[in-house]
A and B are shown apart, each in its own frame.
Chain A
Amino acid sequence: MTDLIPAVNSNDHVYGNPGAPLELVEYGDYECPFCGRAYPIVKSIQEKLGEDLKFVFRNFPLRKIHPNAYPAAIATEAAALQGKFWEMHDIIFENQRTLEPEYIFAFASRLGLDMARFQKDIQDEDLYLKARKDFESGMKSGVNRTPTFFVNGRKFNGDWSTGQLFRYLECELDRIAVEKEAMGS
């Protein structure tokens, strides 16, 4: 009940070293306050683990309770078409209380996106389908709240808000190192 389906693939946005031994996947909702709280925690984990970590964000917008979450997800996908997925992801989480369309456009402009293209891309059906696919994959992977994290394909059931996630990743890194050593000898 706890495996990531599908595994990280070319449709995903990957931050950091693609060959890293640790893979952290977050299912998140841009309007969810818990995801907002997780954002700096993930940032600090990324800083601490550096080259040992790759980070993937998948969309899991609860549209009915967070009406701005889905459009925000589309905006990140449109920004991705101009090579600015993570910049848009960050600016949205850093300004989570103002996600109405006029603000999203202001973010896009602040990031220096080609606005005519952005305006066209956010209406692209494919981007809607992509965000929906993320949601479906989360549903199948047993995501039951946001954020939900997966570490190397397995669901993390601990408390991400207390430093547990970082410690878990560290342990996982040690375990992988030991395993590698055993294989080598």
Chain B
Amino acid sequence: MIPIGTIAPDFTLYAAPDQKLQLSQLKGRKVILAFYPADWSPVCGSQMNLYNEMEDYFVRYDAQLLGISVDSRWCHAAYREQNDFFFPLLADFEPKGAVSKMYEAYDESTGESCRVLYIIDEEGVIIWNYLSPIDENPGADGIFRVLEHSQALKTIEL
């Protein structure tokens, strides 16, 4: 993983079949990058379905959630529609896994992204990272502890 305190490397990926997203466009907001191995993993334990229940919490902290895997934009579009995800899924598809590799979140043996989370602050700095065992849904407690904490710090600064 890229260490905390590093400027998050910029990238541009498809966020929908006809739309690209550049990370640096999101400056001024917090960003959660959720690398995950593949679309269509079993539902009940699925990390993305869990996050999908938390839209109001992400809104509360003005945080943009982005899922990333090596699946293509068309696969993502179908997966997103099927599950009614409120957040975009980025296609790290061509060149395959380039962004995952840049974020040290790529598993060469499977050709998939690892289950890695990053939180990037309003200035584009990585403030948290977490590598989860591949078969384990990391849940959301870590993410929200960081979001709450940085919100509290902001309140003190004001």
Interface residues of A (CB under 8 A from B): 1, 32-34, 62-65, 135-136, 139-146
- Once the chains bind, are B45 and A145 in contact (CB under 8 Å)? yes
Q: Which residues of A contact B22 (CB under 8 A)?
A: none
Complex CA–CA separation, A111 to B138 (angstroms): 39
Complex CA–CA separation, A124 to B95 (angstroms): 52
Since A142-B142, A143-B139, A144-B50 are in contact, a sample of 15 more A-B pairs with Cβ atoms closer than 8 Å, ordered by chain A residue number, is A32-B44, A62-B50, A62-B53, A64-B53, A65-B49, A65-B83, A139-B57, A139-B140, A140-B144, A141-B141, A142-B139, A144-B45, A144-B136, A145-B45, A145-B50
Describe A's contact surface by its main secondary structure.
loop
Complex CA–CA separation, A141 to B145 (angstroms): 10
Question: B64 an interface residue at 8 Å Cβ cutoff?
Answer: no
Complex CA–CA separation, A135 to B137 (angstroms): 17
Closest residue to B53 on the A side, CB-wise? A62
- Once the chains bind, are A144 and B144 in contact (CB under 8 Å)? no
- Once the chains bind, are A63 and B137 in contact (CB under 8 Å)? no
Closest residue to A139 on the B side, CB-wise? B140
Q: Tell me the number of A-to-B contacts counted with CB atoms below 8 Å.
A: 48
- Once the chains bind, are B141 and A1 in contact (CB under 8 Å)? yes
Size of chain B's interface in residues, with CB distance under 8 A? 21
Question: B7 an interface residue at 8 Å Cβ cutoff?
Answer: no
Complex CA–CA separation, A64 to B56 (angstroms): 14
Describe B's contact surface by its main secondary structure.
helix
* Given A64-B53, A139-B54, also A144-B44 (CB < 8 A): no
* Given A34-B44, A144-B47, A145-B45, also A64-B139 (CB < 8 A): no
Q: Which residues of B contact A143 (CB under 8 A)?
A: 139
Out of A34, A64, A142, name the residue touching B141 (CB < 8 Å). Answer: A142
Complex CA–CA separation, A64 to B139 (angstroms): 17
B86 → A minimal CB distance (Å): 9
Interface residues of B (CB under 8 A from A): 43-45, 47, 49-50, 52-54, 57, 83-84, 136-142, 144-145
- Once the chains bind, are B142 and A1 in contact (CB under 8 Å)? yes
- Once the chains bind, are B140 and A64 in contact (CB under 8 Å)? no
Q: Which residues of B contact A142 (CB under 8 A)?
A: 139-142
Closest residue to B139 on the A side, CB-wise? A144
Complex CA–CA separation, A136 to B52 (angstroms): 13
Complex CA–CA separation, A47 to B140 (angstroms): 33
Out of A1, A64, A135, name the residue touching B52 (CB < 8 Å). Answer: A64
* Given A142-B141, A144-B50, A144-B138, also A64-B44 (CB < 8 A): no
Q: Which of B53, B57, B140 has most chain A Cβ within 10 Å? A: B53
B146 → A minimal CB distance (Å): 12
- Once the chains bind, are B141 and A139 in contact (CB under 8 Å)? yes
A and B contact pairs by CB, cutoff 8 A, 18 listed: A1-B139, A1-B142, A32-B44, A33-B44, A34-B44, A62-B53, A64-B53, A65-B83, A139-B139, A139-B144, A140-B141, A140-B145, A142-B141, A142-B142, A144-B45, A144-B138, A144-B139, A146-B44
Q: Which of A32, A62, A146 has most chain B Cβ within 10 Å? A: A62
Q: Which residues of A contact B141 (CB under 8 A)?
A: 1, 139-142
Q: Which residues of A contact B137 (CB under 8 A)?
A: 144-145
